[in-house]
């Protein structure tokens, strides 16, 4: 059984317009970003010193970047991938096929804004996740490494429930 922890989040923001079909992220950049993901887990350490000294060391530690944003277009009330989305996902598929990422599995989560009923939005979010998953599989990503789910209008990225940025797909990357 796979353990789907929230290791890294690849937030794929779905906006309504995009002028260029050139991908924002190249596959090599994606591979480099996620290459360390197989060594996931909370870092642990011992601090020798007073409570104040140890607290200040924690504050000084650089924040670990945990997400990579890609802009992908879905039309309103649509699960169809446009040309720009296909270009972005093509680069992502290339990255996922790279041997440096071969041990990673992916949970593809689809989301919507609050425009429809909760039941309708669950179905639409599932179709969006399936659309991304089908594209990745058609580009050589092993089906056993990806699972699509729809989460409707839960966990919006923007507090405005009708904001188009909430119509998105997020890929959570974890090891088995």
- Which tokens sit at 51? 């409570």
60-64, 125-129, 141-145, 150-154: segment of lowest average pLDDT: 60-64
Instruction: Encode pLDDT of 100-138 as tens digits.
Output: 888 888 888 888 999 999 999 999 999 999 999 999 999
pLDDT at 44: 40
Q: State the number of CA atoms in the 13 A half-sphere of 87 facing the CB.
A: 14
Quote the pLDDT of residue 3: 40
Compute the CA torsion angle 13, 17, 23, 25 (nearest 10 deg). Answer: -30
Whether the per-residue pLDDT at 25 is higher than 90: the answer is: no
pLDDT in tens, 43-92: 444 455 456 655 554 444 444 444 455 656 677 899 999 888 888 899 98
- The domain segmentation of the chain, as residue ranges, is 65-174
| Cβ partners under 8 Å of residue 45, min gap 6 | none
Examine the pLDDT at 175 and tell me if it is beyond 60.
no
CATH of domain 65-174: 3.30.1330.60
Q: Where are the alpha helices (DSSP H) in 64-141?
A: 83-97, 118-138
What burial class does residue 59 get, using C-beta atoms within 10 Å of its C-beta: 0-12 exposed, 13-18 middle, 19+ buried?
A: exposed
């Amino acid at each position: 059984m796979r353990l789907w922890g929230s290791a890294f989040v690849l937030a794929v923001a779905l906006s309504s317009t995009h002028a260029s079909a050139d991908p924002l992220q190249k596959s090599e950049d994606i591979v480099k970003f996620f290459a360390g993901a197989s060594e996931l887990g909370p870092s642990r350490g011992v601090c020798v010193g007073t409570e104040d000294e140890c607290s200040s060391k924690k504050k000084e530690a650089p924040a670990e970047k945990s997400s990579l944003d890609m802009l992908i277009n879905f039309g309103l009330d649509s699960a169809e991938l446009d040309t720009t989305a296909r270009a972005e996902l093509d680069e992502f598929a290339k990255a996922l096929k790279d041997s440096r990422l071969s041990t990673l599995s992916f949970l593809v989560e689809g989301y919507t804004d609050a425009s429809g009923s909760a039941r309708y939005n669950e179905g639409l979010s599932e179709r969006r996740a399936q659309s991304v998953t089908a594209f990745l599989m058609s580009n050589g990503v092993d089906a056993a490494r990806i699972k699509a789910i729809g989460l409707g209008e839960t966990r919006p990225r923007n507090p405005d429930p009708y904001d188009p940025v909430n119509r998105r797909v997020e890929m959570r990357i974890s090891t088995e």
